[in-house]
Each structure stands twice: as C-alpha cells, then as structure tokens.
Chain A
C-alpha cells in the first residue's frame, strides 16, 4: 500500500518534467493550465505534510476546479459549451460559499467537482469527434488531457461521495483507488505533453484502409 502512495507522489513529478522537457511543443495548447495544476498539486501535498491543516485541501479543491474550468472554457469551441462551463462555475461558487464553513466541505466540493468535470469531459470529447480538422482524435493533446480527467474523476466519484460514511480504516484502505487513478492521470498527462500534435489531413491517411 505504501508503495502505491510513494508511486502516486512520484507520478506527480512526471507531467511537470515532461512539460518542461517538451516546452516548445506544448505551447499554445492551453496546457500551461494543466502544468500549473500539476505544480500546485505537488506543492499542496508538501504543504499538507508540513502544516497538517484541512484548509490546505479545501483551498486546493477550489483552485483545482477553477483551473479545470478555465482549461475547458478556453478549449471549447462552441459557445453553448462555454456557457455550460460558466454556469457550472457559478453553481460551484454558490455551493462553495454556502458550505465553506461546513465540516463536510471537502466531500461536497470534491463530489461536485467530479460531476462537473465529467460533464465537461463528455462535452469536450463530443466536440473533438465533431471537429472536421481532427483526423485521429488520439493524436490530439487535448484528447489525452480530457481522458485523463475523465477516467480520474469518474473512478473516484463514488470514493468522494462515500468518503463521509467511511470509517478511518476503510478510508485508508479505499484511498488506494484514488492513488492508483492519480498515477494513471499523471501518466496520461505526460502522454499529452510528450506527443507531437497531428498535422495530417484525411487524404494522407490512406494506410488506415490497408
């Protein structure tokens, strides 16, 4: 179990390193938001070890949602989807303000973040497959970021929903789910930072038929 925890910490360094190594190919894709999230995530873990305050995680959840909302807002091409992102942010703000002093704030905010990000991911994937410029969706950096978030938040949704009903031992045991998908998310972020953006057109993709 301890190995998974250490691996999860180590995995957070991966996307940061790959972003910095391949800085040139990650420009102009809005990926700096994901990079910033990875850096903040790593700093939060460190800060929590130092000061052991729940407030650190509460603050991080708000920043995390803000960053992901901004990422999706800036990558959505359809106006309607942008409005949905704005509406989602407004709902999150209202819920966050109303429950900030509540002891179950982390549970509420994290669950709401998961639900909203899953919705944004579905919208983003829909937009990507509808995009005529995209030849192969999986050659797109945005696709890998989206599936990283999609898999992470959908897999940990039930964990956050039930986190208040779990005993300390159970929470400790089930937190491996979070750690495992945290590793997977960081690997997928790294893939997104490593791959070269696809510039091919459908006409050059003749080998797909062979």
Chain B
C-alpha cells in the first residue's frame, strides 16, 4: 500500500491541484531565477571588464605622460646645456678668423676644445641616462651595483645590493625593464622616504625571480599602492605597474615583520626566452 493509495478520493483533487500548481510555480521560479542570475553575473563581469579597461587607460596615460616628460628633459638638456656650449665653442672658433694673434688663437682653440669636451661629456651623460652602458654590456647585477655605488658615494644614503642567484642573465629587454623599475623605486625612496639605507637582494625559486628592496624610511603598503594606482597622482608608481605588466610581473609593498622596515618585492616568472638564453 502506497501513500497515494491511502489518499482519500475527495482529497485527490486538492492534492493534484496544489501539487501541480506548486511544481509549476517552482519550475517557473527556478527558470526566472536562472535568467536573472545570469544577467546579474554578466553585468558583474562587464563591470569588472570596464574597471580593468579604466585601469589600463590610466596606466597608458601615465606611460605617455612619462615618455613626454622624458622627451622634455632630453630636449631641455640639449637646448639649455649642449646648445649654449656649442654656441660658445663657435664663438671661440670665430674669434680665430678675426684675431690673427697666434697666442690668442691658441688660447681660443684651447677654450673651444675644453667646451667641446664638456659637450661630449654632457651628451654621453644623456645617452647613459637613456641606456646605461653597464646594463647593456655587463647585465642587471653590475648596473644595479653601479647605481647603488653612486648613491652610496654621494654620502646621503647607504645603499647595498646582493644578487644571490644571477649566474645567467635575463633577456636584455627584460633586464632593462627591471632596471627601470628599480631606478624608479630607488628614486622614490630617495625623494620621499628620508631613509638612511637601502638594501636590495635578488633570489630565484623555481622559475620565479625575486627582487626585494628594504629601507628604513617612510614607505607605502600595498593598500596605498592600489589607491595611488587608481588615482590621478603617483605617476611613477603607474609607470612601474605598466612596466611590470609587460613582464607579467607582480609587485608587493609591505612593512617588514619587525614593523621597522618597508619592503618592496618584485616577483617575475622567467619566460621561455630567458630559459633559452640560460641554456645557450
């Protein structure tokens, strides 16, 4: 005997009616829920997509602005320094044409030579700031050591670096990007942190490549970094972010475990090209 068999005939109609209505309501409810839920998910996905696009736009703007600033700096260097130097050298050389006195001629040629030497040095400096020759010829480790030696040499801050596992160089363009990121970070520390030391370490773990920077000044945390990245200020940080995006890298800003130092960690995944270079 089943439950259905014991249902009295009078109640059958009621159970059948409400059962069918109930099942139908449940089914339609479920279908409507699915449709609305899916629309909600799509809206959410599109919102995320839009946020990502806005972020990309911000990064792109920052990168363009930085490029323009760099161009302006080079233009100013050439116009304000190289231009007057060369004009002065021209004046000295012109003097030779009008002045027939041998001693004066020699003096003006010597002065012109001095000025041309200065100009050569200036152009070399501009060229080095665009592409450090140490980085090109000897790699990231040497370039970073060179940079840190210069900072230490200035006497304003104690800067040291240690590369634990950098026997094989990364691809040249990747090294340049990492170097620029380090330069930007160091520049920020010098400008804003009031730190007395910077220490950089490099490590690898599996196919991951880490660079850590410690300093004892005022720093930022990951939350500050995210906020600055979303705002219109913090051009340098946006530049770091866009450079690391090219390498599919990550950056973390945090306070040290001891809460005394600020730590910046750059995490990169070694690409196929880097691995091939290692094998060669």
Residues of A within 8 A of B12 (CB): 162, 165-166, 170
A158 touches B38 (CB 8 A): no
A 172-203 to B, binary, CB cutoff 8 A, 1 in contact else 0: 00100100000000000000000000000011
Closest to A157 in B: B23
- 20 new A-B pairs (CB below 8 Å) besides A165-B5, A166-B12, A174-B16? A125-B31, A136-B42, A137-B38, A138-B35, A155-B20, A155-B24, A155-B27, A157-B23, A158-B16, A158-B20, A158-B23, A161-B19, A162-B15, A166-B16, A177-B20, A202-B42, A203-B49, A206-B46, A208-B39, A208-B43
A159 touches B42 (CB 8 A): no
Q: Is A103 an interface residue (CB 8 A)?
A: no
Task: Tell me, in angstroms, the Cα distance from A206 to B49 when the chains sit together.
Answer: 11
A165 touches B26 (CB 8 A): no
Q: Is A129 an interface residue (CB 8 A)?
A: yes
Asked if A161 meets B4 with Cβ closer than 8 Å, knowing A150-B31, A205-B46, A208-B42, the reply is yes
B20 touches A137 (CB 8 A): no
A-B contact count (CB 8 A): 79
Task: Tell me, in angstroms, the Cα distance from A161 to B126 when the chains sit together.
Answer: 89
Residues of B within 8 A of A162 (CB): 4, 7, 12, 15-16
Interface centre among A129, A154, A167, A208 (most CB of B within 10 A): A154
Top 10 closest A-B pairs, CB basis?
Answer: A158-B19, A154-B23, A154-B27, A155-B24, A158-B20, A137-B38, A162-B16, A158-B16, A151-B27, A129-B38
A170 touches B34 (CB 8 A): no
Closest to A121 in B: B27
* Range of interface residues on B (Cβ < 8 Å): 20 to 34
Give min CB distance, A162 to chain B, whole Å: 5
Q: Is B121 an interface residue (CB 8 A)?
A: no
* Range of interface residues on A (Cβ < 8 Å): 20 to 34
Closest to B28 in A: A151
User: Which secondary structure characterizes the binding site on chain A?
Assistant: helix
Q: Is B13 an interface residue (CB 8 A)?
A: yes
Q: Is B45 an interface residue (CB 8 A)?
A: yes
Residues of B within 8 A of A128 (CB): 34
Task: Tell me, in angstroms, the Cα distance from A103 to B39 when the chains sit together.
Answer: 48
A209 touches B20 (CB 8 A): no
User: Which of B9, B26, B35 sits near A154, CB closer than 8 Å?
Assistant: B26
8 A Cβ contacts from B1-37 to A:
4-5, 7, 9, 12-13, 15-16, 19-20, 23-24, 26-28, 30-31, 34-35, 37
Q: Is A31 an interface residue (CB 8 A)?
A: no
Residues of A within 8 A of B31 (CB): 125, 147, 150-151
Task: Tell me, in angstroms, the Cα distance from A179 to B77 when the chains sit together.
Answer: 88
B38 touches A136 (CB 8 A): yes
Q: 21 A-B residue contacts at CB 8 Å?
A: A122-B30, A125-B34, A129-B34, A151-B31, A155-B20, A155-B24, A158-B15, A159-B16, A161-B4, A162-B15, A162-B16, A164-B4, A165-B4, A165-B5, A165-B12, A167-B9, A170-B13, A177-B20, A206-B46, A208-B39, A208-B43
Residues of B within 8 A of A150 (CB): 27, 30-31
User: Which of A134, A157, A159, A202 sits near B49, CB closer than 8 Å?
Assistant: A202
Q: Is A84 an interface residue (CB 8 A)?
A: no
